[in-house]
Amino acid sequence: MKKLVLGGNDAVAYAVKQCYVDVVSAYPITPQTSIIENIAHFIAKGEMKTRFIKVESEHSAMAAAIGSAVAGSRVFTATSSQGLLLMHEMLHWAAGLGAPIVMANANRAVAPPWSIWADQVDSLSQRDTGWIQFYASNSQDAYDLLFLSFRLAEKVKNPVMVCMDGFLVTHTKEPVATFEDEITDFIKIKDTPVLLDVDKPEAVGALAFPKDYMPVKLEQIKRISTAKEEFYNIAKEFKDVSKKEYKPLYTYGYSDADIVLVAMGSNAETAHLAIDLLDKEGIKSKLIKIVMFRPFPKDEFKKEFKRVKKVVVFDRNVSLGKSGITKDEIAGALGIKNIIGVVCGLGGVDVTEVEMANIAKDVLENKIKEDMILWGEK
Amino acid sequence: MKEIGLHGRGGQGVVTAGELLANIYFKEGYEVQFMPSYGAERRGSPSNAYVRVDKKRVLHRYPVRIPDEIIVLNVTLLPDLALKEGGIALLNLSSDVGLKKNDKVRFFIVDVNKIALECKLGTPATPHVNTAILGAYCKITGNFSFDSLKKVYEEKLGKMAKLNIEAAEKAYDSVREI
Amino acid sequence: MTIPKEEILKPSHLACPGCGAALAMRLALKALGRRTMVVISACCWTVINGTIGYNYSGVPALHTAFETTAVVAAGLKASLEMQGKDDITVMAWAGDGGTFDIGLQSLSGAAERNDDIIYVCYDNEAYMNTGIQRSSATPIGAETTTTPSPVVKDRPKKDLMEIVAAHDVPYVASATLAYPNDFVKKFEKAKSKKGFKLIHILSPCPPGHKFPESKTIEISKLAVETGIFPLYEIEEGKYKINKRPKFKSLNEYLDLQGRFRNMPKEKREALEEFIRKRWERLTIKAEYFS
């Protein structure tokens, strides 16, 4: 292992370089661009043997990735915000065909008004496309999740998206433990599907009448629902090499907490500090950080919520007309009542540990009884 | 935890300065975080970057609000900058004429525009002052050895390392408190 | 030259009788052989190739979204190359809607990158799979469900060949079913060249163009002979007109097809004028760049 000071984007590109990727197809968009710039440099310097298809749009980035993946190549792409939205149609194609593409997404607000800053509505509004979704809170997560994602995608034949909050994770640099040769055995062997074969000419993605459509979808449902178990298996293998443990939900703080704070992405990082602040005031609290959002870790949430009286969920995203998206998902999946959703930090607005701790206290004291939006003079 | 703000205008190399500074502290065994504050990429507009240095991992995911130390590459920005009481302000300035002093913060000045041009870094319109000023920062804070700075420059700047180290040395020697 | 005897396209495919698109695939695959993969975007061929579990094309077929034919083919080719399967030909197969309209952007991208694929547009001059709506390949004066009489199509068809040729690609050619030797030769030539190749095929559609299913070849021939569909190729920037028409009366072509039944006189004149101008340009180019 070697420690380097890397941003989330640097970490992702560095991981891609080490993951024996055959084909990259991508299009620039802030704040993702430095990923593909890094990759282009690695290729130019001969450090990576990868074909980089420089496409004319994100829609085409995903389309080329699909063409490459179904013929057996290991494929990577990256995007953000508007680009991810443009890809939407092809995200369904990738998942539907079982193409094990790995994509990094820099979470960025969606226009209008134009914004390049952190907001998770871009990837969360792709939640029904059939992609496995991970959220990295820091550069180390981003780096490690790339290795895990290639293995998982190929194991379950399902594409994987690794999301990072724009700038707050993508461009924030910090020490990252990177692999040298010790990771080779874990990542080198590919388990990519070969759906097109001239010696066995079959059609992929053909028209299905209703009676044929459902069975295909059932298979897809089965595929993604095995992803969580397979993630545990692969993460165990990864731990043997990296000494780092990855689980669908990461926790920090007291197991017998009076209040649980749930966060995803960069908010989860700051929330550690809120837990420490509450601790200083004698309040036992716990952080649940969502690492895997799809498939949704329902059982894990159930376990973590046992005996918990209050839950507050911080969402750097919003489902307009409803609530923060992860709050809605958690409440919907678990049917718990004492759960307060906080929509905050849209379009890159700061969210601090003090704000988080104050809200947690107000929830505990019943001063906050309903979902709220965190906004005011900063 | 120490929080450092780096402030300049697009083209002066604020982001690179921040990244180099984080790497120097990292070399000295600290946990670091470098957080550039991004807008649209444009020359001349204000550019801010922040470095946090601590013994344990840095978890804050928002820019520094009130830094302990500021490194100011363009003093026209000074009126809008925050700094903690007792903090240090390192300014790219040739003389203290017109500088409003106060007893709450310590001011240091160094003429890195001149040094950069002497070392052939950048052009008269946009001298690359970012590497020189870290030499001055090293001197006034004493937070890391000049040797660590040198090593990081050698690792990160390749062929340009020599000139940049020379500039940092000159700034190290010429920075003064006012 | 002879047309290869081997039939790769399977006979029980789901095309309408007299379908130009089915005949086009048959000839194309004869020329390209079994070590070919085809990418099919949303078009009549989505249906013709059979429902799930079937593949009448006879070669590996990848169905994809409407606007992605060229780029999916490019990704597929890159993947095969990375695996050392360089000898496999990748053919992108799309209709005129998928080429002239919704797929033009990704087509342009692949052409600009000079991706090593053969892009085939089988052009039936309207959205036939959704039931005859106008596309930008629909000729002046044609009636469709979205250009119903008397508001027939009033703008000329896009010049696909010239659009693609403007990307400086190695090979661009047009072909029709009426000249199968020329057709097969062009596919063989395309296969032998590295880089981006486009073949534009006029694909008469009996239900869409409203003519008897036995007339597909005759209409293809008349299209060339009247000059409405020039048969030519642009190889490494050099123009070659493969069949110089005697410019038979356009009415012979139009009157065979119900889609032109309600064509007002001024539209006929406009179409004739369009054809005349196009040939003028083409002739100059063929003389200048030969």
Residue A355 lies in a domain: yes
Residue A378 lies in a domain: no
Q: Which residues of C219-228 are buried (b: 16+ CB within 10 A; e: fewer)?
A: bbbbbbbbbb
Residue A29 lies in a domain: yes
Q: Which of residues 36-65 of B touch A (CB under 8 A)?
A: 36, 38, 40, 57-63
User: Is A286 an interface residue toward B (CB < 8 Å)?
Assistant: no
B31/A171 CB distance under 8 A? no
Q: Which residues of B67-80 are buried (b: 16+ CB within 10 A; e: fewer)?
A: bbbbbbbbbebbee
CA nearest to A246, candidates A147, A145, A103, A143? A145
A203/C67 CB distance under 8 A? no
pLDDT tens profile A281-306: 999 999 999 999 999 999 999 999 98
d(CA B133, CA B91): 9
With contact defined as 3+ CB pairs under 8 Å, the chains touching A are: B, C
**Is residue A331 within 8 Å of A283, Cβ to Cβ?**
no
A contact set with C (CB within 8 A): 22-23, 25, 51, 53-57, 59-60, 63-73, 75, 89-90, 93, 195-198, 200-209, 212, 216
Number of other residues whose CB lies within 10 A of the CB of residue A298: 15
Q: Do residue A27 and residue A170 come from a single domain?
A: yes
Can you give the pLDDT at residue A377?
A: 55
Can you give the pLDDT at residue A144?
A: 98
pLDDT tens profile B105-161: 999 999 999 999 999 999 998 899 999 999 999 999 999 999 999 999 999 999 999
A56/C108 CB distance under 8 A? yes
Give the rounded percent of residues in chain A with a pLDDT score beyond 90: 96
The CATH number of whichever domain residue A139 belongs to comes to 3.40.50.970
Q: Do residue A94 and residue A159 come from a single domain?
A: yes
A203/C79 CB distance under 8 A? no
A5/B22 CB distance under 8 A? yes
pLDDT tens profile A40-96: 999 999 999 999 999 999 999 999 999 999 999 999 999 999 999 999 999 999 999
Give, in order, the Cα–Cα distances in Å from C114 to each of A52, B24, C168, C201: 14, 46, 9, 21
* DSSP assignments along B48-89, one per residue: EEEEEEESS-----S--SS-SEEEES-GGGGGG----TT-EE
Q: Do residue A227 and residue A309 come from a single domain?
A: no
Tell whether omega for the bond before A113 is within 30 degrees of 0, i.e. cis. Answer: yes
Number of other residues whose CB lies within 10 A of the CB of residue C246: 7
pLDDT tens profile B36-74: 987 655 677 889 999 999 999 999 999 999 999 999 999
A175/B31 CB distance under 8 A? yes
At A30, list the tokens.
């802030």
User: Is B32 an interface residue toward A (CB < 8 Å)?
Assistant: yes
Residue A259: which pLDDT band, with cuts at 50, 70 and 90? very high
Q: Do residue A299 and residue A321 come from a single domain?
A: yes
Q: Do residue A263 and residue A328 come from a single domain?
A: yes
Q: Nearest Cβ partner of A64 from C37, C75, C81?
A: C75
- Residues forming a β-bridge with A75: A23
A5/B26 CB distance under 8 A? yes
pLDDT at B97 over 90: no
The CATH number of whichever domain residue A350 belongs to comes to 3.40.50.920
Q: Nearest Cβ partner of B38 from A165, A167, A175?
A: A167
User: Is A60 an interface residue toward B (CB < 8 Å)?
Assistant: no
Phi, psi of A340 (to 5 degrees): -110, 130
User: Is A5 an interface residue toward B (CB < 8 Å)?
Assistant: yes
Using a CB-CB cut-off of 8 Å, the residues of chain B touching A116 are 38, 40
**Boundary residue ending a domain (A181, A210, A241):** A241
pLDDT tens profile B2-47: 999 999 998 889 999 999 999 999 999 999 999 998 765 567 788 9
Using a CB-CB cut-off of 8 Å, the residues of chain A touching C64 are 63, 66-67, 93, 205
Average pLDDT of span C238-266: 97
CA of C103, closest CA in chain A: separation in Å?
A: 10
B61/A167 CB distance under 8 A? no
- Per the structure, the count of domains in chain A is 2
Contacts of C11 (CB under 8 A, 6+ apart): none
Q: Nearest Cβ partner of B22 from A137, A165, A173?
A: A173
Sheet holding A339-343, edge to edge: A249-253, A285-290, A259-263, A310-315, A339-343, A372-373
A60/C78 CB distance under 8 A? no
**Boundary residue ending a domain (A207, A225, A241):** A241
Q: Do residue A169 and residue A85 come from a single domain?
A: yes
Q: Do residue A303 and residue A201 come from a single domain?
A: no
Residue A234's Cβ-side half-sphere holds a number of Cα atoms within 13 Å equal to: 24
* DSSP assignments along C209-255, one per residue: II--GGGHHHHHHHHHHTTSS-EEEEETTEEEEEE------HHHHHT
Q: How many CB pairs under 8 A join A and C?
A: 157
Q: Do residue A97 and residue A189 come from a single domain?
A: yes
Write down all domains in chain B, each with its CATH number in brackets: 2-177 (3.40.920.10)
CA end-to-end span of chain A, whole Å?
A: 40
C54/A73 CB distance under 8 A? no
> Is the sign of the CA dihedral B90, B96, B102, B103 positive or negative?
positive
With contact defined as 3+ CB pairs under 8 Å, the chains touching B are: A
Residue A313 lies in a domain: yes
Q: Could you tell me whether strands A75-80 and A23-26 are parallel, antiparallel, or unpaired per DSSP bridges?
A: parallel
Q: Nearest Cβ partner of A351 from B36, B38, B62?
A: B62
**Boundary residue ending a domain (A241, A269, A291):** A241
Can you give the pLDDT at residue A378?
A: 47
**Is residue C202 within 8 Å of C223, Cβ to Cβ?**
yes
Number of other residues whose CB lies within 10 A of the CB of residue A211: 8
Q: Is B123 exposed, middle or buried (0-12, 13-18, 19+ CB in 10 A)?
A: exposed
Residue A257 lies in a domain: yes
Tell me which of A198, A212, A220 to substitute to probe the interface with C (most C C-beta atoms closer than 10 Å): A198
Strands, E assignment, A137-283: 160-165, 174-178, 203-204, 249-253, 259-263
Average pLDDT of span C155-182: 98
Using a CB-CB cut-off of 8 Å, the residues of chain B touching A165 are 61
CA of A10, closest CA in chain B: separation in Å?
A: 13
A174/B32 CB distance under 8 A? yes
| SS3 (DSSP) at B174 | helix
d(CA A343, CA A317): 6
Residue A190 lies in a domain: yes
Give the rounded percent of residues in chain A with a pLDDT score beyond 70: 99
Q: Could you tell me whether strands C231-235 and C171-175 are parallel, antiparallel, or unpaired per DSSP bridges?
A: antiparallel
Tell me which of B14, B62, B151, B152 to substitute to probe the interface with A (most A C-beta atoms closer than 10 Å): B62
- If you ran DSSP here, which 8-state letter would residue A114 be given? P
CA nearest to C256, candidates C219, C230, C203, C220? C219
Q: Do residue A78 and residue A214 come from a single domain?
A: yes
Residue A346 lies in a domain: yes
Phi-psi region of C15 (alpha: psi -120 to 50; beta: other; left: phi over 0): beta
pLDDT tens profile C70-113: 999 999 999 999 999 999 999 999 999 999 999 999 999 999 99
pLDDT tens profile A182-215: 999 999 999 999 999 999 999 999 999 999 999 9
Residue of A nearest to C37 (CA): A198
Residue A285's Cβ-side half-sphere holds a number of Cα atoms within 13 Å equal to: 31
Q: Do residue A223 and residue A255 come from a single domain?
A: no
Structural domain boundaries, residue A354: 249-373
A51/C81 CB distance under 8 A? yes
Tell me which of C79, C81, C90, C129 to substitute to probe the interface with A (most A C-beta atoms closer than 10 Å): C79
C near B: at least 3 beta-carbon pairs less than 8 Å apart: no
Residue A176 lies in a domain: yes
- Residues forming a β-bridge with A25: A53
Average pLDDT of span C34-47: 98
Q: Do residue A114 and residue A223 come from a single domain?
A: yes
pLDDT at A150 over 70: yes
Can you give the pLDDT at residue C112?
A: 98
C51/A205 CB distance under 8 A? no
User: Is B34 an interface residue toward A (CB < 8 Å)?
Assistant: yes
Q: Do residue A210 and residue A307 come from a single domain?
A: no
Number of other residues whose CB lies within 10 A of the CB of residue A238: 22
Q: Nearest Cβ partner of B61 from A117, A168, A175?
A: A168
Residue C139: which pLDDT band, with cuts at 50, 70 and 90? very high
Contacts of A304 (CB under 8 A, 6+ apart): A249, A251, A260, A286, A288
Residue of B nearest to A3 (CA): B26
pLDDT tens profile A306-342: 888 899 999 999 999 999 999 999 998 887 778 999 9
Can you give the pLDDT at residue B69?
A: 98
Residue A175: which pLDDT band, with cuts at 50, 70 and 90? very high
d(CA A314, CA A289): 10
Q: Nearest Cβ partner of A266 from B34, B57, B61?
A: B61
- Residues forming a β-bridge with C227: none
Write down all domains in chain C, each with its CATH number in brackets: 20-288 (3.40.50.970)
Using a CB-CB cut-off of 8 Å, the residues of chain A touching C88 are 198
